[in-house]
Structure 1
């Protein structure tokens, strides 16, 4: 999975590591695919990060399609091999059109049939590129989703950037991943 971190052996896990792993495995994810076996080397960090991730993935107030679209925008922005590999099929199952996802992977601006999809894309891209949001984009998002969900959307984009940085920094791949969606 990674040649930058020592292999993690659950048989030699500390009590703190076992607690984190158990919480992840018994939660809505049910697996350790993603950054978790990297983060487990710092169990306190892993615990905080995985709890934030569970919120960002499942409780933002956005429909799953929009959350997964935001994750794909983030994965494409970071060219995160494992993040894309994991979330691409989830996004398609949630209703993100394959043409939209493929355009993102290829670094193109997709054509959106759904205005909410376009808004999520514009919000994420503007925030990533300019590190700010124009009043117009911010106001559109708040008018459509409300302040709480916009706060949660910013959190989701930040969390999945953290995931992408972790996966990229440690050269991690997803379980079963044999192909790379982005050239290296």
Structure 2
């Protein structure tokens, strides 16, 4: 059960309404999940949604790699809502079903594309060790470029914030949608 109620738009303060309208009129086309939680602190909602817009829609990483990164982070954090929201987007962006299933079950994915292997290994190492080795960093720069690595770390920070929000406030996927991560 969600720990914090969604706000009724008719009951919002002007700051909350401004944040709500900015989010709803953007590429997300609505205010759901962790964004709805953040509306309780409209200043956080405004800044976080701007970072999220960049991380999701404007980085140097193509959608296939961004969505693979998001699923990897959803699995690391056991974030069912994030998994629910991004699994279909990842599949549509070209992440293979076998890779998605391997991530879901904590198996080592078999990647057909080296850039995907780098994304997964980099994020797995970063979250396990709280840093990345010189070798992993060099491999990531070689495959993604320096800008891509910077964008990947920014995306990791943002989706960690998303996952923490989902987990702390118990944001669930819609009724009737089963948990896939076993959390």
What range is the shorter-chain TM-score in?
over 0.9
The answer as to 2:48 corresponding to 1:46 is: no
Q: Unaligned regions of 5+ residues in structure 2, if any? A: none
Q: Where do residues 142-161 of structure 1 align in structure 2 (5 Å cutoff)?
A: 142-161=141-160
Matched, 1:37 2:36: yes
1:73 is aligned to: 72
Separation in 2, partners of 1:134, 1:69: 21
Quote the offset at 1:137 in angstroms: 0.9
Counterparts of 2:31 and 2:176 in 1: how far apart (Å)?
14
User: What is the aligned length?
Assistant: 183
Closer/same/farther in 2, CA of residues 71 and 177 from structure 1, 3 Å limit: farther
Contact persistence 2:55–2:154 (CA under 8 A): yes
Cα distance in 1 for partners of 2:33, 2:63 equals: 18
Q: What is the aligned-residue RMSD (CA, Å)?
A: 1.2
* Secondary structure at the counterpart of residue 146 of structure 1: helix
* Alpha-carbon distance in 2 for matches of 1:62, 1:171: 29
Equivalent-residue separation in structure 1 for 2:178 and 2:167 (angstroms): 15
Instruction: Report the equivalent of 1:162.
Output: 161
- The answer for unaligned runs of 5 or more in structure 1 is none
Whether the 8 Å contact between 1:68 and 1:91 is mirrored in structure 2 is yes
Q: Secondary structure at the match of 1:179?
A: coil
Give the equivalent residue in structure 2 for 1:61. Answer: 60
Number of the residue aligned with 2:12: 13
How far, CA to CA, are the matches of 2:67 and 2:33 in structure 1? Answer: 15
Once residues 3 and 67 of structure 1 are traced to their aligned partners in structure 2, the CA distance between those partners, rounded to angstroms, is 27
Alpha-carbon distance in structure 2 between the residues aligned to 1:32 and 1:174:
14
With structure 1 as the length reference, what TM-score do the two structures score? Answer: 0.95
Structure 1 runs of 4+ off > 6 angstroms?
Answer: none
Name the TM-score, length of structure 2 as normaliser. 0.96
Per-residue Cα deviation, 1:33-52 (whole angstroms, up to 9, x for no partner): 32111111111011111110
